[in-house]
Amino acid sequence: MTDYLTDGAEIYRRSFATIRAEAELDRLPSDVERVVVRMIHSCGMTDLARDVAFTPDVVKAGHDALRAGAPILTDAKMIASGVTRRRLPADNDVVCTLADPRVPDLATKLDTTRSAAALELWRERLPGSVVAIGNAPTALFRLLELLDEGVGAPAAIIGVPVGFIGAVESKEELVAKAPTPYLVVHGRRGGSAMAVAALNAIAQEAEL
């Protein structure tokens, strides 16, 4: 067998050191840098930093909201599952409404995807929340429609839907409208692991 490193803390330290040596992070405020390092760690790609767009206040806004007890709202069960509960500062609720039994009918009625229809069940909790969209571009589009309708804005939006249809455009629309502090990864890349990495980094400042 090949020798390999088995010290978990040392693996983290060396991973973060490799990321900081390779990625172009100079343009990022220090709190955003810490979040982006975690996102790179989750996907193994140091060039991710190039595609990150953000408002400089997004990490502070998200962290302050969580400290004040705000819920996390997300479009995918995997993301809700991945949030490390002990990192959350106020035993915050982590909500994914996709599996709610009302969603299939809502999707039919609204003529949209289940991922987008699930946001109908976010309306009351959306103002001041921390939102992470890591799967469906239609969920991010629908979120922007809800805000256009006048639903109160979340404290921060992590916008990393992934894929080939609508992912690029939904993130461009979020950046163009900028309804509230946001962090996105432009392009097709994104996904639940990246969303979880961002949420866990925003929840707690410690890296290890």
* Phi (first) and psi of residue 107, to 5 degrees: -65, -40
- Interface with its own copies, residue 97, by CB under 8 A: no
- Name the minimum Å distance from CB 64 to its own copies: 26
The C-alpha atoms of residue 191 and residue 43 are separated, in whole angstroms, by 9
The radius of gyration computed from the CA coordinates of the chain, to the nearest angstrom, equals 17
Query: Which listed range, 53-61, 65-73, 75-83, 198-206, lies at the site for its own copies (CB under 8 A)?
Result: 75-83
Per-residue interface string for the shown chain with its own copies, residues 110-139, x marking contact by CB under 8 A: -xxxxxx--------------------xx-
* Of 61 and 80, CB closest to its own copies: 80
Strands 72-74 and 130-133: parallel
Query: Which listed range, 3-11, 28-36, 60-68, 199-207, lies at the site for its own copies (CB under 8 A)?
Result: 3-11
Residue spans of beta strands (DSSP E) within 12-152: 52-54, 72-74, 94-95, 130-133
- Name the minimum Å distance from CB 131 to its own copies: 17
Packing angle between helix 58-67 and helix 192-203, nearest 10 degrees?
Answer: 70
The C-alpha atoms of residue 4 and residue 199 are separated, in whole angstroms, by 29
- Name the minimum Å distance from CB 117 to its own copies: 9
The C-alpha atoms of residue 191 and residue 198 are separated, in whole angstroms, by 11
- Which member of 154, 159, 181, 190 binds its own copies (CB under 8 A)? 190
- Interface with its own copies, residue 78, by CB under 8 A: yes
Closest-CA residue to 167 (of 200, 133, 201, 194): 133
- Name the minimum Å distance from CB 3 to its own copies: 9
The C-alpha atoms of residue 86 and residue 135 are separated, in whole angstroms, by 24
- Interface with its own copies, residue 151, by CB under 8 A: no
Positions that interact with its own copies (CB under 8 A): 1-2, 4-8, 11, 14-15, 18-19, 41-45, 77-78, 80-82, 107, 111-116, 137-138, 141, 144-145, 148, 162-167, 169-170, 173, 187-193, 196
